[in-house]
Amino acid sequence: MATVAETRHPEHLHTRAFDLPTPQRRRLPALRHLGPNWYACVMGTAVVATAGASFPYAVPGLHTVCQAVWALSAATLAVVLTARAGHWLHHRDQARAHLLDPAVAPFYGCLAMALLAVGGATMAVGKELIGEGAAVAVGAVLFTAGTAVGLAAAVAVPYLMVVRHKVEASQASPVWLLPVVSPMVSAAVGPLLVPHLPAGQPRETLLLACYAMFGISLLATLTMLPLILGRLIVGGPLPLTLTPTLFLVLGPMGQSVTAAGQLADQAHGSVGAPYADGLAAFAVVYGVPVIGFALLWLALAAAMVVRAARAGMPFAMTWWAFTFPVGTCVTAAEGLARHTGLAAFGWLAAALFALLVAAWLTAAARTLRGLAAGRLLAAPR
């Protein structure tokens, strides 16, 4: 994910010293330029565990690896939350500047999605390590916090874009989707809590609330996609550093299909029989066309990334856009395989999971290298 420095001054990614005079400064970099885009590391790590937990084929050792990845995502969330708290405490002027910058403000949606992603992974994978009761409690807390933050961001960021940001059509990018995608993540994670609520009104309320958030995110996404596609067609390719953000479009697509499948799984026992059967059918009738569009966009985005790579696309935090959006497509394909019984969706899930793991390993390794060298947290020259 891109910070202000990366979107406006990508050349600083190629420098070495970044005005850090001492080794101690490198080991303890200042938090001034730590933006909300860093939550993408948490999202991208947690989705690997979630996708692997429902992998349609038996792979020796995969479950153990997913548990380790979940633990890593939880630890990463704690570190980034602490660092961001330090950023707000010691660099409030920069934090306010981020909110007023249209290139950075949309990344506040990543905070909500990080909380939700780790909460979902905890209930899917972590329950075997910390116990089901503790996993549900942690999941409920993270779901509640993530949903509240996500709904606030879905309103506040577009509001700022309208009344405070000076935005032009040529600035439209997939990053604009981040604030409105988080309610869809809530819609996909919420069903995991439904079986743990008392039967009757509590279950039905949460289930239908998740459908409401499904609608919020889907309709908001449909209003923004034409702006993004129009910007690409009229304005040409995105800058090299921002090209990976094209993968962000996969997020609402894959997550909506995942949410439809998860909600259908919990419909029986939560709502009446006619509605439950209809929601199960909707998961397939909606999911198949949308996953088809997601694959079309994946091919387009991949072609643009190959073009950018040939032109010398540098590493930046935008590379984490290769992880979470692809992970949502993995869980979407897994859900369709479960609801249709078609082997083709299982094969698709396996292929996308391999892509997800490769992207995560690459982004994680390059991020650690950038942190060790002091590049990623340094101010641009």
Both tokens of residue 39? 């939550």
pLDDT by residue (tens digit) across 170-215?
788 999 999 999 999 999 999 999 999 999 999 999 999 999 999 9
**Hey, what's the torsion of the CAs at 9, 10, 13, 18, to 10 degrees?**
0
What is the Cα–Cα distance from 86 to 105, expressed in whole angstroms? 18
Looking at residue 291, what is its pLDDT?
97
Whole-number average pLDDT of the chain: 90
DSSP-assigned letter for residue 18: T
What is the Cα–Cα distance from 352 to 326, expressed in whole angstroms? 7
Looking at residue 4, what is its pLDDT?
43
Contact 317, 2 (CB under 8 A): yes
Looking at residue 30, what is its pLDDT?
66
Q: Looking at domain 4-373, which CATH architecture does it have?
A: Alpha/alpha barrel (1.50)
Query: Global pTM?
Result: 0.89
- How confident is residue 160, by pLDDT bands cut at 50, 70 and 90? very high
CA distances (Å), 151 to each of 71, 213, 276, 379, in order?
27, 9, 26, 31
Between 15-24, 184-193, 247-256, 322-331, the lowest mean confidence (pLDDT) is in 15-24
Mean pLDDT of 85-105: 88
- How confident is residue 20, by pLDDT bands cut at 50, 70 and 90? very low
DSSP three-state, residue 271: strand
CA distances (Å), 248 to each of 74, 75, 78, 245, 263, in order?
22, 24, 24, 5, 23
The per-residue b/e assignment along 179-208, b for 16 or more CB within 10 angstroms, e otherwise, is bbbbbbbbbbbbbbbbebbeeeeebbebbe
Mean pLDDT of 99-117: 93
What is the Cα–Cα distance from 123 to 324, expressed in whole angstroms? 18
Residue 17 phi, psi (nearest 5): -85, -40
What is the Cα–Cα distance from 200 to 182, expressed in whole angstroms? 27
CA distances (Å), 33 to each of 15, 62, 183, in order?
16, 36, 27
First-last CA distance in the chain = 20
pLDDT by residue (tens digit) across 65-83?
999 999 999 999 999 999 9
More confident residue, 303 or 90: 303
